[in-house]
Amino acid sequence: MRLKNRTALITGGAAGIGKAAAERFLQEGARVEICDINPKAGDAAVQELGSDITFHQVDVTDRQSVQRWVDDVLAAHGKIDILINNAGILRDSLLVKLRAGDLIHQMTEADFDLVMAVNLKGVFNCTQAVAPHMIRQRSGVILNATSIVGMDGNLGQTNYVAAKAGVIGMTKVWARELGRFNIRVNAVAPGFTATEILSAMPEKLIQGMTARTPLGRLGEPRDIANAYLFLASDEACFITGAVLRVDGGLVVGT
């Protein structure tokens, strides 16, 4: 029961890694408050995971929506001990694609802006909303979902890589700014993980991902959830500003 009596907020908590983290945190005694943009998935997660979890429909790109969520949690529990900024989306595309010298396709501005809004600004919005309370209580843990591609780059992911690299930078800034208030800020960088998004990809692509992973398999959401659990627990009480790769030894190729 490493998280007994602690209140944890998890964005994007209705599916995938976020849902797995919610399940692990519940097993370790936390009171879990998840948010997601998808109310159907959120309600299903609550029904599956039990009575110590609450779902809120929140758009992390909307600062007022985020603030209402935080205010509701504080009204219900009086404290926020852990924030996991897990929500994220993909809109993959090559920067530009030419055929016979002619431009035939490029990443759209709308797809760039949307990924940056959810994956980068959403992390900023949620952290800024909870930080004042954590400062007042002089304790807290903030965990940010980045990615190995935010460190290594990847083809067709200009927007996603830029956002995840930005998350790493913000993690290091916040670790410095908030450390004196006993608030730890770390990031987790998953490798290829068997989530709903990955299941929609062609089997040949998934086989290629597995082949590039020295441990010979894709990550499971629980693998990432266990990393979140360690960093949220007192076992990691002297770790801040770190980026933990959970990738099976993967090196992203070109």
Q: What is the mean pLDDT of residues 162-169?
A: 98
pLDDT digits (tens, 9 = 90+) for 96-146: 999 999 999 999 999 999 999 999 999 999 999 999 999 999 999 999 999
| More confident site: 195 or 164 | 164
Active site residue 160: yes
High-pLDDT (> 70) share of the chain, %: 98
Question: Domain for residue 174, yes or no?
Answer: yes
Q: In terms of residue numbers, what domain contains 76?
A: 7-245
Q: What is the pLDDT of residue 252?
A: 62
pLDDT digits (tens, 9 = 90+) for 126-135: 999 999 999 9
Question: Domain for residue 83, yes or no?
Answer: yes
Question: Domain for residue 253, yes or no?
Answer: no
**What is the model's pTM?**
0.95
Question: Domain for residue 250, yes or no?
Answer: no
Question: Domain for residue 102, yes or no?
Answer: yes
CATH of the domain at 234: 3.40.50.720
Q: What is the mean pLDDT of residues 145-168?
A: 95
> In total, how many domains does the chain have?
1
Of the listed 25, 55, 112, 160, which one is catalytic?
Answer: 160
DSSP labels for the chain?
-TTTT-EEEEETTTSHHHHHHHHHHHHTT-EEEEEES-HHHHHHHHHHH-TTEEEEE--TT-HHHHHHHHHHHHHHHS---EEEE-------B-SEEEETTEEEEE--HHHHHHHHIIIIIHHHHHHHHHHHHHHHHT-EEEEEE--THHHH--TTBHHHHHHHHHHHHHHHHHHHHHGGGTEEEEEEEE-SB-SHHHHTS-HHHHHHHHHTSTTSSPBPHHHHHHHHHHHHSGGGTT--S-EEEESTT-----
Question: Domain for residue 2, yes or no?
Answer: no
Question: Domain for residue 254, yes or no?
Answer: no
pLDDT digits (tens, 9 = 90+) for 13-44: 999 999 999 999 999 999 999 999 999 999 99
Question: Domain for residue 164, yes or no?
Answer: yes
